[in-house]
Amino acid sequence: MKIGVLALQGDFSEHLSMLKKLGVQAVEVRLPKHLDDLNGLIIPGGESTTIGKLAVAYDLMEPLRQFGTSHAIWGTCAGAIFLSKDARSNQPLLGLMDIKVQRNAFGRQVDSFETDLNIDELMKVSGTPFAYHAVFIRAPLIESVHGNAKALSTLEDGRIVAAQEGHLLATSFHPELTSDTRFHEYFISLAS
């Protein structure tokens, strides 16, 4: 099992540490050729406009889209925005996931927050239900899911913060900033 982490900008090193902790081979992806022998790819949090611009500059847009048609990709926060079809803004998007996102939906940096979520899908890796402690930093909201995309988790008021479309995964929050490895384990199960 070999998972790549897009390492153009953002908190890719936290994802790499998490994957290594789980005994998975984890590599940085900066060029199209780095995608060659991967089972899956994580796109980290950071700034989606910057990640998009750099992906264009490094000729990664088409190779990433191609990779996503047959491999697992998980976008956290800015990565989720980059994966989406619609972010209501003029910026480079992969357009792989049929979700509409709203950037910075919870306000500014000072409005970052943490909350416990119930995510049934994580039962598949832990076997027992226990809440997932999620960290939101200038997070996007997944406004709506379309086509084959489905909501995986919502806040208490029903707003969507995690979605899945086949082997594609998007989370508004940052599992790589906690010590809970369940989301990474779930993604690895999608990649294998």
d(C-alpha 117, C-alpha 115), whole Å? 6
Choices 42-50, 57-65, 143-151, 181-189 (CB under 6 A): range interacting with ligand GLN: 42-50
**Residue closer to ligand GLN, measured from CB, 33 or 108:** 108
123 burial level (CB within 10 Å; 0-12, 13-18, 19+): middle
**Residue closer to ligand GLN, measured from CB, 100 or 138:** 138
DSSP string computed for 84-110 = EEE-SSSS-----EEEEEETTTT-SGG
Q: Minimum CB separation from ligand GLN for residue 165, in Å? A: 20
Site membership for ligand GLN, residue 171 (CB under 6 A):
no
DSSP state, residue 65: H
Site membership for ligand GLN, residue 81 (CB under 6 A):
yes
Contact between 52 and 31 under an 8 Å Cβ cutoff? The reply is no
Q: Minimum CB separation from ligand GLN for residue 48, in Å? A: 3
Residues 88-107 that bind ligand GLN (CB under 6 A): 103-104
What sign does the dihedral 129-157-170-28 (CA atoms) show? negative
Strand partners, 151: 163
Q: What are phi and psi of 161, to 5 degrees?
A: -125, 0
Site membership for ligand GLN, residue 15 (CB under 6 A):
no
**Residue closer to ligand GLN, measured from CB, 15 or 138:** 138
- Active site members: 77, 174, 176
What does the binding site for ligand GLN look like in residue numbers (CB under 6 A)? 45-48, 77-78, 81, 103-104, 137-138
